[in-house]
Structure 1
Amino acid sequence: MADLRRSFRGLEPPKNEQSARDIDVPPFLAELLGKHLASWPYDWVFCTQTGKWWWRSEWFRVIRPAADGREARPRARGTAVKEAWEPITPGLTMRDLRHTHDTYQAEDDVNPVLAHEQSGHKYPGIKGTYQHPTPAMRKHRLKALQRRYERALKNLGWKAIWES
């Protein structure tokens, strides 16, 4: 089992064989992940700079400050100088991100069976038993996510990484 985990290049190790699954990513995200993985020396796609697992506490210690902004901090014993940065989205939570993604899927007319799968849930009732995501459903969602990304960049006056 240890050898399998070492050769597995993914988001995190699956809990068991049945929970391992492929994920769909739109072209912009595939491009970003490809650039990240080209020089990333660790087995896991998202981990610390030393290859260790991100713990929940890292959200509040490392990631959340990027959303909330940070005041400049001078050099102190044991810590380096830290420059200030402006808030991106003050108060952002993981829950907000999950709900926003679900809302975008509804707005983009993503089939509910596929939207539930994306959230890690089974579609309720008999439809969840008989209906399954199809390649056409997946393609529709990926196109919608790509359009949403391109529209956001255009609104910000930015260019996509492949246009730079």
Structure 2
Amino acid sequence: MLGILKEEEIEKLLKEQYIGRLACHAHGVSYIVPINYVYNSGTVYAHSAPGQKIRMMKSNPQVCFQTDQIRDTFNWKSVVCWGKFEEIIDAAEKQRVLQGIIHRMMPLTNTPSAQPSHGTGKTDPYEEGMIVFKIIMHLKTGRFEVNDSSD
């Protein structure tokens, strides 16, 4: 059975997941990449080294974000959101967001100190040019499929 996720199911999925796909479009080119994220109150928080997605989002801040939970081919949930990219400039807010990401990601890795690109290494991630950003969502949709056969 295919269906539409209710608002509370969309929120639950966004909070539970930690990897999503961020799509951006600028200068006639579309680009989609997986990102680690933390979700809170209609906003996705993430970080990145400078690169193509950051350049594209600065040029066109309107983005699309997707995450899912897939158990198998006929049992899945997926959420697609549209929102606006904003770089976080305030140092205190950057630190809070980065700490939230670290708290979310550390239990999922065996060697957190070996991952300096995720702000968990010994070097200061801001010295490396890390960009912390948020996607403020303005539209969220969700779909699911459940195998409801009794076999």
Q: TM-score, normalised by structure 2?
A: 0.27
Higher strand fraction (1 or 2): 2
Higher helix fraction (1 or 2): 1
Q: TM-score, normalised by structure 1?
A: 0.25
| Structure index of larger Rg | 1
Higher relative contact order (CA 8 A, sep 6+): 2
